[in-house]
Amino acid sequence: MRNLDLSAIHAFILTAELQSFTRAAEALNTTQAAISTKLKRLEDHLGRQLLERTPRTVRLSAAGAAFLDPARDILAAQQRATAIFAAPARRLALGISHHLVGSSLPGMLRKAADSLPGIVLELRVGLTRELMEEYDAGALDAIVFLRYAESQRGGERLALERFGWFAAPDFMFTPGTPLPIATQAPPCSLRTMTMERLDSAGVKWREVFVGGGVAIIGAAVEAGIAVAVLALRVAPAGLVNVGKRLGLPSLPARDVVLHARAGDTGLASSLRVLTAAFRNGS
């Protein structure tokens, strides 16, 4: 059997993980056609169909599932071999708004580890305002955040984020009493949006919990003590959207935006892998 094409193996791994030819092409800065060609040649070489393609989804075949871990091993071995003579590791400093960090983060980091050899990923999570200040000061190479105001122009739109009013399945609320809410600590644009939407709709409310980060807010909601506005992308599993049931006001969607510096092509390539995973929601 001829030697396997490492670039085709890399394309296979990304397509399998992102479940999308489009996202894999974005990550590798190429076209869907090029990805399809590489994968077809790899399948022909192995004599097995690795991916099952439909108009809407891409998923592993039985042979593809069996080949995925060995493929990762092959790519990792190649990366270890070339790392012996590689230059010192480069650092990618990425800031992400705390509203966008949830259960999908481990999957994103796994894809980063698989696809970014020689890159030290420095991840910072915080308020959009703080991340923008660090980015402007040159401390961050890129930031991903929610655009709340028209004044926040520029950047690359990654996705449209939607929100819901989340509560525990057994959350009890007595109509006519103030709605207990959990919010992020100020200053927080999502906190402001929550209060403004309730006030505009004439819904009485009371703040019963203030925390930092989706995990902490989610824990308060899971405990059954409050309702919180969370992005659908990151709402903890087990919580339910009670907006319609409680007659709560609709919530506007917001753009997820990337600001990144032009420069090092290696870092740009690394960033494409992460943003492709982010667009895919995994």
| Structural domain contains residue 272 | no
Does residue 151 sit in the same domain as residue 178? no
Q: What's the pLDDT score for residue 129?
A: 83
Question: What confidence score (pLDDT) does residue 221 get?
Answer: 93
Residues 128 and 260 in one domain: yes
Does some domain include residue 277?
Answer: no
| pLDDT > 90: percent of the chain | 18
Whether residues 94 and 82 share a domain: the answer is no
Is residue 262 included in any domain, yes or no?
Answer: yes
> Residue 110 belongs to what domain range?
90-161+255-267
Q: How far is the CA of 174 from the CAs of 49, 94, 171, 231, in angstroms?
A: 57, 43, 10, 25
Count CB atoms within 10 A of the CB of residue 70: 10
Which one is predicted more confidently, 72 or 76? Answer: 72
pLDDT-based confidence at residue 182 (cuts at 50, 70, 90): very high
- CATH number of the domain encompassing residue 51: 1.10.10.10
Mean pLDDT, to the nearest integer, of 192-207? 92
Structure token digits, residue 186? 């100020």
Among 66-70, 130-134, 152-156, 207-211, whose mean pLDDT is lowest? 152-156
Assess if residue 275 is contained within a domain. no
17 vs 197 pLDDT, higher one = 197
Q: Please compute the mean of the pLDDT values over residues 158-176 and round it to a whole number.
A: 88
Predicted local confidence at residue 33, as pLDDT: 87
pLDDT digits (tens, 9 = 90+) for 90-106: 777 888 888 887 766 77
User: Residue 149: pLDDT above 70?
Assistant: no
pLDDT band at residue 164 using 50, 70 and 90 as cut-offs: very high
Same domain, residue pair 105 and 243? no
pLDDT at 88 over 60: no
Is residue 51 included in any domain, yes or no? Answer: yes
Q: 166 falls in which pLDDT band (50, 70, 90)?
A: very high
Using alpha carbons, list the distances in angstroms from residue 88 to 29, 83, 179, 215.
24, 9, 54, 35
Name 99's Cβ contacts closer than 8 Å, sequence gap at least 6. Answer: 146, 184, 190, 214, 230, 231, 234
Same domain (yes/no): 99, 171? no
Cα–Cα dist 229/226, whole Å:
10
At 25 the pLDDT is 83
211-270 pLDDT, tens digit each: 877 888 888 999 999 999 998 888 888 899 999 999 899 999 888 888 887 665 556 666
pLDDT range class, residue 150, cuts 50, 70, 90? low
In the chain, the number of structural domains is 3
- Regarding whether 188 and 75 lie in a shared domain, the answer is no
Whether residues 150 and 178 fall in one domain? no
Q: What is the CATH number for 242?
A: 3.40.190.10
Q: Tell me, yes or no, whether 274 lies in a domain.
A: no
- Of 71, 86, 101, the one marking the end of a domain is 86
Q: Is the dihedral of CA 61, 64, 68, 70 positive or negative?
A: positive
- 3-state SS string over the chain? CCCCCHHHHHHHHHHHHHCCHHHHHHHCCCCHHHHHHHHHHHHHHHCCCCEEECCCCEEECHHHHHHHHHHHHHHHHHHHHHHCCCCCCEEEEEEEEHHHCCCCHHHHHHHHHHHCCCEEEEEEEECHHHHHHHHHCCCCCEEEEEECCCCCCCCEEEEEECEEEEECCCCCCCCCCCEEEEEECCCCHHHHHHHHHHHHCCCCEEEEEEECCHHHHHHHHHCCCCEEEEECCCCCCCCEECHHHHCCCCCCCEEEEEEECCCCHHHHHHHHHHHHHHHCCC
C-alpha 158/C-alpha 233 separation (Å) is 13
What does the pLDDT average to over 39-51?
Answer: 89
Looking at the fold, whether 80 and 15 belong to one and the same domain comes out as yes
**Within this chain, do residues 170 and 242 fall inside the same structural domain, yes or no?**
yes
Examine the domain organization and report whether 104 and 130 are in the same domain.
yes
Pick the last residue of a domain from 67, 86, 105. Answer: 86
Picking from 86, 115, 147, the residue at the C-terminal end of a domain is 86
d(CA 196, CA 202): 10
279 lies in some domain: no
The pLDDT of residue 226: 93
Mean pLDDT along residues 50-56 = 81
Mean pLDDT for the stretch of residues 70-76: 84
Q: What is the mean pLDDT of the chain?
A: 82
Residue 23 lies in a domain: yes
What local confidence, expressed as pLDDT, does residue 83 receive? 64
* Residues 132 and 259 occupy one common structural domain: yes
Residue 118 has pLDDT above 70, yes or no: no
Same domain flag for 150 and 182? no
Q: 85 or 15: whose pLDDT is higher?
A: 15
CA 98, distance to chain mean position in Å, is: 11
Contact at 8 Å (CB) between 193 and 281? no
